[in-house]
């Protein structure tokens, strides 16, 4: 049997990378500098409500591996000062690690008034439009962070209803009570 030549391997790697790269892009959006933080993802055209915009495309990993990578990403984040952990829950047994350069959706920022939401569709995580989105709007979703570590994540989304911290909408009433108690004790 003829052995594979280095050039064949190179072509195969290139083909795979191109495939990954394409899967992480979308005709509906592109990366730009963000007014919220660093880089963000912006609509390049009108996007009707409920449109599947872009896949949050990473590697499917089991929970044990997910915990390992989560700790590693958190350690790196602590050094840089950014809350950049890219693990997304997929199911009871699996998560998606989105920490790959081709995963454009990893750059979507959080907002207290988000226009997108992550939906699990089979084995994929898709970012959908929560409402009609105009061309030029920054795409955002609710990061769903836990209220217990709210002080670590001040929010700069700029929405009129911004609660001041990146915390899951579902825990806002709890956050409001904590903020009230904190203000009273000052
Ligand atoms: C997954 S990254 C999002 C992309 C990020 N803007 C970048 O340029 O790498 C998450 C980081 O963005 C920051 N970030 C996202 N939304 C934010 C917000 N509403 N307010 C402040 N920082 C935010 C977080 O602090 C976190 O470090
Ligand atoms: Zn906010």
Residue 15 placed within a domain: yes
- Same domain, residue pair 160 and 174: yes
Size of the chain, expressed as the number of residues it contains:
186
Q: Tell me: pLDDT of 1 over 60.
A: no
Q: 123 burial class (0-12, 13-18, 19+ CB within 10 angstroms)?
A: exposed
Q: What was the pLDDT predicted at 85?
A: 80
Position 2 scores a pLDDT of 61
Q: Can you tell me the mean pLDDT for 111-127?
A: 96
Residue 150 lies in a domain: yes
Same domain, yes or no: 54 and 111: yes
- Cβ of 106 closer than 6 Å to ligand 1, yes or no, is yes
Dist CA 14 CA 112 (whole Å): 40
Alpha-carbon distance of 184 to 84, in angstroms, equals 32
Asked whether residue 25 falls in the same domain as residue 45, the answer is yes
Per the structure, the complete domain to which residue 125 belongs is given by 6-58+100-142
Specify whether 123 is located in the same domain as 166: no
167: Cβ below 6 Å to ligand 1?
no
Q: pTM for the complete prediction?
A: 0.92
Q: What is the CATH classification number for the domain harbouring 49?
A: 2.170.270.10
Mutation to probe ligand 1, out of 30, 33, 37 (largest number of atoms < 8 A from CB): 37
Query: Are 183 and 107 found together in one domain?
Result: no
**Ligand 1 and 82: CB distance under 6 A:** yes
Residue 102, pLDDT score: 94
Could you tell me the distance, in angstroms and rounded to a whole number, from the CA of residue 176 to the centre of ligand 1? 22
Report residue 186's pLDDT band, with 50, 70 and 90 as the boundaries.
confident
pLDDT(82) > 70? no
The CA distance from 94 to 182, in Å, is: 38
Residues 105, 49, single domain; the answer is: yes
Same domain, 105 and 167: no
Centroid of ligand 1 to alpha carbon of 156 (angstroms): 9
- Count of the separate structural domains present in the chain: 2
Query: Ligand 1 within 6 A of 156 CB?
Result: yes
Q: Is the pLDDT of residue 78 over 90?
A: no
Cα-based distances in Å from 11 to 1, 18, 76: 20, 10, 33
Domain annotation covers residue 82: no
What are the tens digits of pLDDT across the range 132-177?
Answer: 999 999 999 999 999 998 998 999 999 999 999 999 999 999 999 9
């Amino acid at each position: 049997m003829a052995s594979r030549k280095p050039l064949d391997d190179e072509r195969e790697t290139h083909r795979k990378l191109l495939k990954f790269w394409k899967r992480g892009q979308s005709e509906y959006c592109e990366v730009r500098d963000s007014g919220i933080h660093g880089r963000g993802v912006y609509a390049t055209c009108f996007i009707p409500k409920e449109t599947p915009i872009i896949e949050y495309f990473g590697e499917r990993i089991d929970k044990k591996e997910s915990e390992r990578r989560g700790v590693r990403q958190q350690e790196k984040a602590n050094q840089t000062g950014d809350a950049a952990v890219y693990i997304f829950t997929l199911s009871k047994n699996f998560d998606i690690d989105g920490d790959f350069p081709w995963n454009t959706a990893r750059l979507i920022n959080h907002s207290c008034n988000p226009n997108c939401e992550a939906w699990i569709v089979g084995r994929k995580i898709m970012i959908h439009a929560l409402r009609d989105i105009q061309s030029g709007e920054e795409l955002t979703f609710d990061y769903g962070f836990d209220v217990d570590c709210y002080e670590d994540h001040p929010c700069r989304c700029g929405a009129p209803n911004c609660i001041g911290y990146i915390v899951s909408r579902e825990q806002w009433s709890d956050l409001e009570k904590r903020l009230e108690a904190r203000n009273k004790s000052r």
